[in-house]
Chains A and B, each alone.
Chain A
């Protein structure tokens, strides 16, 4: 038995790690590599070989590939629609039209090349129920952490790099307000 299945799982883990790093905000060094890492993980998953995968992994791998074909244009379409939608009386009809064209293309791919009703609904409901259980336990653990006594150690001030970064963010936002 070959160990190619590890590539698939490492790819999945890198996707989750990259997304977590990209969304974390104040960790300046890790946040920069977050989304590239997630994309690398996605590449590992997409181009992984089916050799060595067990039956359920093969099905999940194939479903993930099929999902990417419509989800990528779908995400791009949503992003463009959000950019083109009217905000404070400013409308961008051409951007909105392009966004909707990409979004409709994504729906076309979804409905013609993918069977959205072909999956077992019960499995999906059980999976969501399981994730909700984990979420509830996680919330209880967070509440427990919040009740723990606070540490008395002093938090060190921002480093020079962090100060420069915060100053640049504030400047950028204040300049935009000025416009």
Chain B
């Protein structure tokens, strides 16, 4: 169930990121309808999965909060690995041959 909750959280988190980006970066010549529709579809699917995975007493909103915050936490846990990669890149650009 933890697996399903994390997967549903990451699907919802990803689609929310896309939706926020579409709204924040909107311009009049941007055809957003297919992107919004696909994101809403994934968001709905993620919400459905999170409601299956969470306890029966949870409302849809609580299930969404549980799952999405779990995904946020898991994403934050990957940051040290990314930081290690960035540090290696910094090493490379600091000592590259002239």
Contacts and interface: CB of A to CB of B under 8 A. Distances in A.
Interface of A: 5, 9, 12-13, 16-18, 20-21, 23-24, 26-27, 30, 54-57, 59-60, 63-64, 67, 70-71, 74, 78, 81-82, 84-86, 89, 96, 99-100, 103, 106-107, 110, 114, 116, 119-120, 122-124, 126-131, 133-135, 137-138, 140-142, 144-145, 148, 151, 155
Main secondary structure of the interface of B (DSSP, over half): helix
8 nearest A-B pairs in the assembled complex, by CB-CB distance: A130-B10, A134-B14, A119-B77, A20-B24, A116-B80, A127-B74, A123-B74, A56-B69
B69 A126 contact: no
A16 B20 contact: yes
Contacts of A16: 17, 20-21, 24
A155 B29 contact: yes
Interface of B: 2-3, 6-11, 13-18, 20-21, 23-25, 27, 29, 31, 34-35, 37-39, 42, 62, 65-67, 69-81, 83, 86-87, 90, 93-94, 96, 98
Question: Which of A12, A82, A114 has most B Cβ within 10 Å?
Answer: A12
Contacts of B21: 16, 20
A124 B80 CA distance: 12
B72 A12 contact: yes
28 contacts: A9-B65, A26-B27, A30-B24, A60-B76, A63-B77, A78-B90, A81-B94, A114-B80, A122-B3, A124-B74, A127-B10, A127-B74, A128-B75, A130-B6, A130-B8, A130-B11, A130-B13, A134-B15, A134-B39, A134-B42, A135-B14, A137-B38, A138-B18, A141-B38, A145-B34, A145-B35, A148-B31, A155-B29
A74 B78 CA distance: 15
A134 B37 CA distance: 13
A160 to B, nearest CB: 19
